[in-house]
Amino acid sequence: MAKPISSHTAIAHLQLNSLTNLVQAEIERMILEGTLQSGEKLTEATLAEQLGVSRGPVREAFRMLEESGLVRTIKNRGVFVRDVAVEEALEIFEVRAVMDLYVGRKLAETITPTQVKELRQLVDAMDQAVKGDNAGDYHRVNLKFHDRLLELADNAKLTATYRKLVNELSLFRRQNLTAESMAVFTREHKQIVKAIAAGDPEAAGQAMFQHVMNSRERTLEYYRGKNAVAAAAA
């Protein structure tokens, strides 16, 4: 017979799990907001001291962050913030586009007026971020908007896979945000919500698919321009 777990052990286990989740959420925030840069090495001791915790929760948080696609462990070197190559990013955009096609079609058939109102409020918040030229706020609400679309589609497996892809792209895309690109993205978001609210599965799916493929094209153009500038300066 298995030995029963004491109440003290159970409480300690719950506290460790809760603390690990808090540490994981804080490190994730630092990565997504750019405080911890793409390719940067993460040190258990440094982060533990910074966050006021022991190294155990930080170590567990690293494992969770690796599963979600935000960090990677290199043998004999340590843990690093993911550095996604442009070629890999372009492939991720393509996979996301196909998934979004399905999400758009499904939501056009199942969305409620209350949920449409919620999506419009998120788009309005992005609009305000554009007007204030606040890339940080825009990036945060943009992630929330797309994540909410996933939640409303109500497919747990798709949501888990999609979130990992979004995490892998987050730092990569955040570097490309400009006042002009944010305004374009917001117009596309409005078109997505309009098509979903109209109950038009084909239009909604295509709006979401094209939004992601447009992001892919803008990313490719950005890096071609960046490489051309670097080549000219060499």
- Weakest-pLDDT range from 17-21, 51-55, 141-145, 199-203: 17-21
**Rounded distance between C-alpha atoms, residue 106 and residue 151, angstroms:** 12
- pLDDT tens track for 129-155: 999 988 888 888 998 999 999 999 999
DSSP labels, 19-83 = HHHHHHHHHHHHHHTTSSPTT-EE-HHHHHHHHTS-HHHHHHHHHHHHHTTSEEEETTTEEEE--
Q: By three-state DSSP, how is residue 176 classified?
A: coil
* Phi (first) and psi of residue 133, to 5 degrees: 50, 45
**86-233, CATH topology level:** Four Helix Bundle (Hemerythrin (Met), subunit A) (1.20.120)
Cα dist from 39 to 45, 47, 69, 86, 160, whole Å: 18, 16, 13, 14, 24
Number of helical (H) and strand (E) elements in the chain, helices listed first: 9, 3
Residue 11: pLDDT over 50? no
Confidence of residue 10 (pLDDT cuts 50, 70, 90): very low
First vs last Cα of the chain: how many Å apart?
A: 71
- When mean pLDDT is compared over 52-61, 71-80, 102-111, 221-230, the highest value belongs to 102-111
For 7-81, CATH gives 1.10.10.10
Tell me which DSSP letter residue 178 carries.
Answer: -
**Rounded distance between C-alpha atoms, residue 57 and residue 44, angstroms:** 9
Domain boundaries, the chain: 7-81, 86-233
Residue 190: pLDDT over 80? yes
Q: Do domains 7-81 and 86-233 have the same CATH topology?
A: no
pLDDT (0 to 100) of residue 120: 97
